[in-house]
Amino acid sequence: MKFIELEGKINPKKRQSASYVKRTFAITKEVKSAVLKITALGVYKATLNGEPLDKQVLLPGYTDYKHRVQFQEYDITSRLKTGENELNAVVGDGWYRGSVGIGSKRNCYGTKTMLGCELTMIYADGTFKTIEADESFLVSKDGPLRENDLKVIEVYDATKTPSDFYAAIPSAYKGEVVSQQGEPVLEHERFSPKVLNTPNGETVLDFGQNFAGYVHFRIQNGKTGHQVKLTMGEVLDENGNFTMKNLAAEGASLISGEVGQELVYICKDGKQEYQPYFQLCGFRYVKLDNWCEEVKAENFEGIAVYSDIQSVGHFTCSNDLINQLVKNVKWSQKSNFVDIPGDCPTRERAGWTGDISVFAETACYLTDPRKFLKKWFTDFMLEQWEDGSLPYVVPDGGYAPRARSCCAWSDAIANIATVLYQFYGNKADLEFVYDCVKKFVDYQTERAKKKNPLTRTKNSEHRHYIIERGFHYGEWLEPSRPMYKDFIKDLFYPDTEVTTAWFYQTTRQLSDMAALLGKARDAEKYSSLAEHIKQAYRHEFLTDGGVHSDRQCRYVRPLFMGLVDDEEGKPIAEKLNKMCIENDYKIGTGFHTTYKILSVLCDYGYIDTAYKMLENTKQPGWLYEVTKGATTTWENWNGIDENGVPRDSHNHYAPGAVVAWLFSYCAGIKPLKAGFEELLIQPYVGGTLTFAEAEYHSAKGKIISRWDKTENGYTLSITVPDGIKTKVVFPNGETFDLIGGTHHFNWEA
Ligand code: BGC
Query: Quick check: 400 pLDDT over 60?
Result: no
Q: Could you tell me if the CB of 7 is within 6 A of ligand 1?
A: no
Written as one letter, the residue type at 545 is G
Q: Could you tell me if the CB of 339 is within 6 A of ligand 1?
A: no
pLDDT the model gives residue 482: 74
pLDDT the model gives residue 251: 64
Phi, psi of 376 (to 5 degrees): -70, -35
Phi, psi of 113 (to 5 degrees): -75, 155
Q: What is the CA radius of gyration of the chain?
A: 27
- Per-residue DSSP letter, 105: B
Query: Quick check: 518 pLDDT over 60?
Result: yes
pLDDT bin (cut points 50, 70, 90) of residue 483 is confident
Torsion, Cα 52 57 60 61, to 10 degrees, reads -170
What are the angstrom distances between the C-alpha of 60 and each of 71, 75, 351? Answer: 6, 17, 17
Quick check: 405 and 447 in contact, CB under 8 A? yes
Express each pLDDT in 409-455 by its tens digit. 999 999 999 999 999 999 999 999 999 999 999 999 999 998 777 66
What are the angstrom distances between the C-alpha of 239 and each of 198, 205, 209, 248, 634? Answer: 9, 16, 20, 19, 20
Of 190, 159, 172, 189, the C-alpha closest to 269 is 159
Buried b (16+ CB within 10 A) or exposed e, 438-471: bbbbebbbebbeebbeeeeeeeeebbebbbbbbb
pLDDT the model gives residue 269: 97
Q: With H, G, I as helix, E, B as strand and everything else as coil, classify residue 653.
A: coil
Provide the mean pLDDT of the chain: 95
**477 alpha carbon to ligand 1 midpoint, in Å?**
9
Written as one letter, the residue type at 383 is E
Q: Could you tell me if the CB of 392 is within 6 A of ligand 1?
A: no
pTM of the model: 0.97
pLDDT the model gives residue 254: 56
How far apart are the C-alpha atoms of 115 and 18, rounded to whole Å?
A: 12
Quick check: 147 and 14 in contact, CB under 8 A? no
Q: Could you tell me if the CB of 233 is within 6 A of ligand 1?
A: no
Quick check: 25 and 131 in contact, CB under 8 A? yes
Please provide the DSSP assignment of 180-227 as one string: --SPPEEEEEEE--EEEE-TTS-EEEEEEEEEEEEEEEEEEEE-TT-E
pLDDT the model gives residue 749: 82
**476 alpha carbon to ligand 1 midpoint, in Å?**
8
Atom of ligand 1 nearest to the CA of 102: 7
Atom of ligand 1 nearest to the CA of 354: 10
First to last CA, the chain: 68
Express each pLDDT in 355-397 by its tens digit. 999 999 999 999 999 999 999 999 999 999 999 999 999 998 8
Express each pLDDT in 65-82 by its tens digit. 999 999 999 999 999 999
Express each pLDDT in 588-638 by its tens digit. 999 999 999 999 999 999 999 999 999 999 999 999 999 999 999 999 999
Count other Cβ atoms within 10 Å, centred on residue 192. 12
How far apart are the C-alpha atoms of 351 and 336, rounded to whole Å?
A: 9
